[in-house]
Amino acid sequence: MNELMTKSLAQIVTGNHRTAAIFEKYHLDFCCKGKRSLEQACNEQNIATNELLAELESISSAPVTGTAGFPFDQLTLTQLSNYIVSTHHAYVKGELPQLFSYIEKVAAKHGERHPELYKIFELVVAIKEEMELHMRKEEQILFPRIQEIENIATQDKESPQLNINYLQSPISVMEQEHDHAGALTAEIRQLTSNYTAPPDACTTYKLLFASLQAFETDLHQHVHLENNILFPKAIELFQHLNEVRMN
């Protein structure tokens, strides 16, 4: 398993999505910072590798079920972007209003005893506003451009003279927004002591923390599929089309 140490976190998760759960446990960012090698990531956070490697080996040798071994990197760009919209965007759109409702109630009821809830409320509001705009930009601008480039390639159409910024500019904006969303959820994790509800937490309080943790986990998978698979493949295809047009 030592060869895993030289692989990037993104490569490991792409090969088996169940390994994401291990990285979540150790707070290793495989989405926004997925290009780091496992060795580099462990060194940065002073993580002993023996136990981590044992857990990765155990989960990798277990029978593959569900989407754990699904080859997302083998999907077409259109298939992958459609999957992201129908799975992750749909989840975010359904979950954010519920999260807002939970934190609004819990902060009002428990905020005096747990003032960190007021800051969590602000962070949830920021995430909600930013993610709603972010997803609209992906669905209305970036993803259609990616699909347009793929259609040109697959249908052997003449490639238009498009500057690389046609894709790179919106991708750069999306990656920056991914980083910010990740920072907001990381701050929530810190404020909640890794989503540990206090002894006096009511049922809604506990449900809020569980929902926030699930939201962060989904966000990491969501960003991983875009930053580490969809966007690099789209840029690679665009550059290939430009090379073909120039030859």
User: What's the pLDDT tens digit per position in 116-151?
Assistant: 999 999 999 999 999 999 999 999 999 999 999 999
In contact, 219 and 185? CB cutoff 8 Å: yes
Read off the amino acid at residue 187: E
- Per-residue model confidence (pLDDT) at position 60: 66
Tell me the mean pLDDT in the region 55-60.
Answer: 78
Tell me the mean pLDDT in the region 5-34.
Answer: 84
What's the pTM value of the predicted model, to 2 decimals? 0.83
Residue of 67 and 216 predicted with greater confidence: 216
Under the banding of pLDDT at 50, 70 and 90, the label for residue 158 is low
Tell me the mean pLDDT in the region 155-175.
Answer: 83
| Burial class, 137, CB count within 10 angstroms (exposed 0-12 / middle 13-18 / buried 19+) | middle
Q: Strand, helix or coil at 16?
A: coil
Tell me the mean pLDDT in the region 46-69.
Answer: 72
Q: Strand, helix or coil at 8?
A: strand
Residue of 52 and 247 predicted with greater confidence: 52
- Per-residue model confidence (pLDDT) at position 109: 95
In contact, 218 and 91? CB cutoff 8 Å: yes
- Per-residue model confidence (pLDDT) at position 241: 83
Residues 6+ apart with CB under 8 A from 213: 189, 195
- Per-residue model confidence (pLDDT) at position 159: 61
For the chain, list the domains and their CATH numbers: 2-61 (1.10.3910.10), 73-246 (no CATH)
Q: Is the pLDDT of residue 111 over 80?
A: yes
In contact, 127 and 184? CB cutoff 8 Å: yes
- Per-residue model confidence (pLDDT) at position 200: 93
